[in-house]
Structure 1
Amino acid sequence: MKSISYAFVTGLALAWLPGTSFAQQAALDARIAKLAQAEETKVIAWRRDFHQHPELGNAETRTAGIVAAHLKSLGLEVQTGVAHTGVVGLLRGGKPGPVVALRADMDALPITEATGLAFASTVKTTYLGQPVGVMHACGHDAHTAMLMGAAEVLSQVRKDLRGTVKFIFQPAEEGSLPGEEGGAKLMVKEGVLENPRVSAVFGLHIDAQTPVGQLTYRPGGMMASADDFTVTVHGKGAHGSTPWNGVDPVVTAALMVVALQTLVSRQVDLTQDAAVVTVGILRGGVRTNIIPAEAELSGTIRALDSKMRAQLLAAFRRTVTGIAESAGATADVVFDPDAYPVTFNDRALTARMVPTLQAVAGGAAHVTEIKAVTGSEDFSFYQEKVPGMYFLLGGMRKGTDPATTADHHTAGFVLDESGFTLGVKTLATLAADYLGQKP
């Protein structure tokens, strides 16, 4: 009965390539669902192993070795050492067709775990000169395990796939150490989307505040760009009792902080999309009666539209340099060269694949279009080059209040592992359905 319902839903929404009937594609998807369920024990075991042995960005050597060995055991073409520790597997289907990519991130975070799990991390390291634990506090261990499961599932139906699947296991999504390159940006730079050329890319992130069994997405700007900035204000030092003898960079910086809050409220079209300008650091001076020669402010700019992002960056520079000039000071503005673009879900691709999400999740009631998220994701670097779709997978135990669950990037972060099978099934089915559809 489930197979009939699945074929009906999928057949109504999607148009398949010549030679592939609705029934044939539905049968393939049903096989994928069954195989995904059979992977559950393996996926949970992989995830627990990765969780117990976390590795920071650009240092995922053990994780990458396990991934590469698994992909080779499936008969895939495997490339290692991409963007330091990245692994890429290529599965060529039995019929000609396009190339679709599936991506998972592998890195952990510098956080000391406090979950009490039997497989909790006890790994310690030194990060930026500070002793700290290492923990998978964002779910990348689950992402890696689920994509390994999807690779195994698709390898078992390869003769029925119309095209090629590229599996991207990426290091350093959380960022690299200062002075290092890494993550999706370096993966793209080193040609991960080429040879063969990728036509579309899919990625997921597990969400500890969304119930198991639910998928969420958003067309267009789903997650924000992230442009960190530092402004150094150069004034002229003076005694605090005679400020007229100097140029006060502290007052000038304070004026900038206030004025920057008008960029979103007065200089961009808020009916188009949301944006945020936050100053997180303001420092200058060492003593109450000394006006320093310099002050510094730093923060972040978030936008959900690439044009709005460019407009904000230009307005930011214009505002701070203008205020500095008006005070007789100067300002140096530096934007982070490794800033993340907008995680922008291609609207046509998203509309085309939402029926697949609904089918694998058991109906439209389990798939929700959500509001934009002002956090950021380096999956956006892939989406700058090819159409991409990013979505969230529920990882919270059903019946739990999201307000009581530990957030991502915290020491108490936990996941309900019963949601992993849906992740495997969704990744594998998205690839199979994309390859089988008419563009």
Structure 2
Amino acid sequence: MKLTHYALPALLLSALLPPAATAQNAALDARIAQLAAAEEAKVIAWRRDLHAHPELGNEETRTAGIVAAHLKSLGLEVQTGVARTGVVGILRGGKPGPVVALRADMDGLPVTEKNELPFASKARTTYNGQEVGVMHACGHDTHVAMLMGAAEVLSQVKKDLPGTIKFIFQPAEEGSLPGVEGGAKLMVKEGVMENPKVDAVFGVHINAQTEVGTLKYRAGGEMAASDVFTIKVKGKSAHGAYPWLSVDPVVVASQIVMGLQTIISRQTLLTEDAAVITVGMIHGGVRNNIIPEQVELTGTIRTLNKDMQRKIWEDIRRTATNIAESASATAEVDITNYTPVTFNDLKLTERMLPSLRTATGSADKVVQQKAVTGAEDFAFYQEKAPGLFVFVGGMTKGTNPATTAPHHTAGFRIDESGLKLGVTTLATLAADYLTLKK
């Protein structure tokens, strides 16, 4: 009989574990892998249902109801309405011990799906005053399904777990409407990392450009901090036919956009870490022949360490104000941190690497990747406890990543055979953290 890595004998699995692991640990991990394989069809069914019924951030009432009902059926302590629509389940093991948290995000995106799938989303809603389609275009449906599966797997081995597992199902990872607090930041504010206090937190994210069966991670700064900047350029209005009577904020704003580019290309040590400044919106003027009094620029900053973040903030303020002053205009600069750096704790990452290799069944399938300039609000949990965030392959084997639809696009899709590894990874990380000596 051909053995898959989910049927590897305990002896081989023990070879992948650190010296502190015992035969009992290896047997527990083997049992987790077997249970995850048995759950595969159920996890895929959950995912398809959630994919067909996506909900935007802070509106995940249907999703939350499904999650809460499942956790209650497993006998977990369940709290609902956390950070508006979030759900938290607590599983207490057979013995006292540490507390570990596992997190999944639940929200979809305002994207109209263009996949020919029987469970493709047909959902519509209103977002920012516009009628839009709604789609799980970043894989949060898979995250929910995988964590539901991990909860079921771990509930079947809870007598062997010395400690407590907290399952965090989070709303609004993609962000709330302007002026509305939400997501991981609000969950932390409402005490999700306390009572009981979390000692370590783990999360996974499906990736459509990583082959099924592979896990990717980066020790230290893995995903970028996301900052939002607004620059209000104020000049003097005039008739478009007489520009010499104006202080033209459109021209000044254009110069500021170009000046911001030199912060990255000429003033930032990119050999240390990647960084990005992008102007995403320019608003100003009401008529073709009227030079407006004000133009507003809005954009994003991405950095992977605090020193670089601090420097770029200072560079933006200096560049914008000095360019404006050179033209007799003024520039008001406001910068707000939206998400901190997603930072994988170095000691925790090293400690849990054998668990990732156990989950995949092969050290070759656990790959350290380069930093990602996308952002993840999982970072807020990592500010409260050491954390590890891992990418799970969701691309069909043999596929060229360049041919796959990126995340946040209408054609985004996932190979569902990758979900089993996600369930195994979450459950293995939790079980190993609780059972292995530090």
* TM over 0.5, shorter chain: yes
**What secondary structure does 2:103 align onto?**
strand
Instruction: Name the aligned partner's letter for residue 414 of structure 2.
Output: L
**Structure 2 CA distance for partners of 1:122 and 1:242, relative to 1, 3 Å:** closer
Q: Match for residue 412 of structure 2?
A: 413
1:346 pairs with 2:345? yes
TM-score under structure 2 normalisation? 0.94
Q: Match for residue 3 of structure 2?
A: none
Instruction: Name the aligned partner's letter for residue 391 of structure 1.
Output: V
Deviation per CA, 1:211-242: give whole Å up to 9, x if none: 11011111111111111212110111234455
Q: Match for residue 156 of structure 1?
A: 156
Instruction: Name the aligned partner's letter for residue 20 of structure 2.
Output: A
For residues 128 and 242 of structure 1, the distance between their equivalents in structure 2, rounded to whole angstroms, comes to 37
Matches within 5 A, 1:219-368: 219-240=219-240, 242-286=242-286, 289-336=289-336, 339-368=338-367
Instruction: Name the aligned partner's letter for residue 282 of structure 1.
Output: I
**What secondary structure does 2:322 align onto?**
helix
Given that 1:9 and 1:355 are in contact with CA atoms closer than 8 Å, whether structure 2 keeps it comes out as: yes
Instruction: Name the aligned partner's letter for residue 366 of structure 1.
Output: K
- Cα offset for 1:209? 1.2
For residues 379 and 298 of structure 1, the distance between their equivalents in structure 2, rounded to whole angstroms, comes to 24
Query: Structure 1 stretches of 5 or more lacking a match?
Result: 17-21
For residues 280 and 97 of structure 1, the distance between their equivalents in structure 2, rounded to whole angstroms, comes to 48
Q: Match for residue 80 of structure 2?
A: 80
For residues 133 and 240 of structure 2, the distance between their equivalents in structure 1, rounded to whole angstroms, comes to 44
Instruction: Name the aligned partner's letter for residue 144 of structure 2.
Output: T
Task: Give the root-mean-square deviation of aligned CA atoms.
Answer: 1.6
Given that 2:25 and 2:436 are in contact with CA atoms closer than 8 Å, whether structure 1 keeps it comes out as: no
For residues 192 and 94 of structure 1, the distance between their equivalents in structure 2, rounded to whole angstroms, comes to 22
**What secondary structure does 1:39 align onto?**
helix
Q: Match for residue 119 of structure 1?
A: 119
Q: Match for residue 141 of structure 1?
A: 141
- Cα offset for 1:136? 1.2
Q: Match for residue 15 of structure 2?
A: 8
1:395 pairs with 2:394? yes
**Structure 2 CA distance for partners of 1:335 and 1:14, relative to 1, 3 Å:** farther
Given that 1:93 and 1:162 are in contact with CA atoms closer than 8 Å, whether structure 2 keeps it comes out as: yes
- Cα offset for 1:283? 4.1
For residues 183 and 208 of structure 2, the distance between their equivalents in structure 1, rounded to whole angstroms, comes to 23
Instruction: Name the aligned partner's letter for residue 123 of structure 2.
Output: V
For residues 46 and 376 of structure 1, the distance between their equivalents in structure 2, rounded to whole angstroms, comes to 26
Given that 1:32 and 1:153 are in contact with CA atoms closer than 8 Å, whether structure 2 keeps it comes out as: yes
Instruction: Name the aligned partner's letter for residue 54 of structure 1.
Output: P
Given that 1:209 and 1:405 are in contact with CA atoms closer than 8 Å, whether structure 2 keeps it comes out as: yes
Given that 1:213 and 1:361 are in contact with CA atoms closer than 8 Å, whether structure 2 keeps it comes out as: yes
For residues 351 and 174 of structure 2, the distance between their equivalents in structure 1, rounded to whole angstroms, comes to 30
Given that 1:14 and 1:437 are in contact with CA atoms closer than 8 Å, whether structure 2 keeps it comes out as: no
Q: Match for residue 433 of structure 1?
A: 432
Instruction: Name the aligned partner's letter for residue 351 of structure 2.
Output: R
**What secondary structure does 2:269 align onto?**
coil
Given that 1:56 and 1:110 are in contact with CA atoms closer than 8 Å, whether structure 2 keeps it comes out as: yes
For residues 385 and 184 of structure 2, the distance between their equivalents in structure 1, rounded to whole angstroms, comes to 13
Query: Structure 2 stretches of 5 or more lacking a match?
Result: 1-7
For residues 362 and 241 of structure 2, the distance between their equivalents in structure 1, rounded to whole angstroms, comes to 71
**What secondary structure does 2:137 align onto?**
coil
**What secondary structure does 2:339 align onto?**
coil
Structure 1 range deviating more: 256-265 or 418-427: 256-265
- Cα offset for 1:98? 0.9
For residues 257 and 61 of structure 1, the distance between their equivalents in structure 2, rounded to whole angstroms, comes to 41
Given that 1:14 and 1:352 are in contact with CA atoms closer than 8 Å, whether structure 2 keeps it comes out as: no
Structure 1 range deviating more: 159-168 or 275-284: 275-284
Q: Match for residue 5 of structure 2?
A: none
For residues 305 and 189 of structure 1, the distance between their equivalents in structure 2, rounded to whole angstroms, comes to 23
Given that 2:114 and 2:411 are in contact with CA atoms closer than 8 Å, whether structure 1 keeps it comes out as: yes
For residues 307 and 168 of structure 2, the distance between their equivalents in structure 1, rounded to whole angstroms, comes to 29
Instruction: Name the aligned partner's letter for residue 4 of structure 1.
Output: L
**What secondary structure does 1:318 align onto?**
helix
Amino-acid identity (%): 68
Instruction: Name the aligned partner's letter for residue 345 of structure 1.
Output: N
**Structure 2 CA distance for partners of 1:286 and 1:60, relative to 1, 3 Å:** closer
Q: Match for residue 217 of structure 1?
A: 217
- Cα offset for 1:280? 2.5
Given that 2:10 and 2:23 are in contact with CA atoms closer than 8 Å, whether structure 1 keeps it comes out as: no
Deviation per CA, 1:265-323: give whole Å up to 9, x if none: 34333232110111223343455554321122221111011221122112212221222
1:27 pairs with 2:27? yes
Instruction: Name the aligned partner's letter for residue 211 of structure 2.
Output: P
For residues 289 and 124 of structure 2, the distance between their equivalents in structure 1, rounded to whole angstroms, comes to 44
**What secondary structure does 2:376 align onto?**
coil
Instruction: Name the aligned partner's letter for residue 34 of structure 2.
Output: K
TM-score under structure 1 normalisation? 0.94
For residues 376 and 315 of structure 1, the distance between their equivalents in structure 2, rounded to whole angstroms, comes to 21
Given that 1:111 and 1:137 are in contact with CA atoms closer than 8 Å, whether structure 2 keeps it comes out as: yes
Q: Match for residue 378 of structure 1?
A: 377
Given that 1:252 and 1:324 are in contact with CA atoms closer than 8 Å, whether structure 2 keeps it comes out as: yes
Q: Match for residue 97 of structure 1?
A: 97
Deviation per CA, 1:67-110: give whole Å up to 9, x if none: 11111111111110000000001111112211110000111111
Given that 1:264 and 1:276 are in contact with CA atoms closer than 8 Å, whether structure 2 keeps it comes out as: yes
Deviation per CA, 1:340-376: give whole Å up to 9, x if none: 1111111111111111111210111111111111111
Instruction: Name the aligned partner's letter for residue 357 of structure 2.
Output: Q
Q: Match for residue 19 of structure 1?
A: none
Deviation per CA, 1:366-400: give whole Å up to 9, x if none: 11111111111111111122111111101111122
**What secondary structure does 2:143 align onto?**
helix
Instruction: Name the aligned partner's letter for residue 345 of structure 2.
Output: D
Instruction: Name the aligned partner's letter for residue 15 of structure 1.
Output: A
Deviation per CA, 1:36-71: give whole Å up to 9, x if none: 111111111111111111111111111111111111
Q: Match for residue 64 of structure 2?
A: 64
For residues 64 and 19 of structure 2, the distance between their equivalents in structure 1, rounded to whole angstroms, comes to 36
- Cα offset for 1:244? 4.1
For residues 405 and 259 of structure 2, the distance between their equivalents in structure 1, rounded to whole angstroms, comes to 35
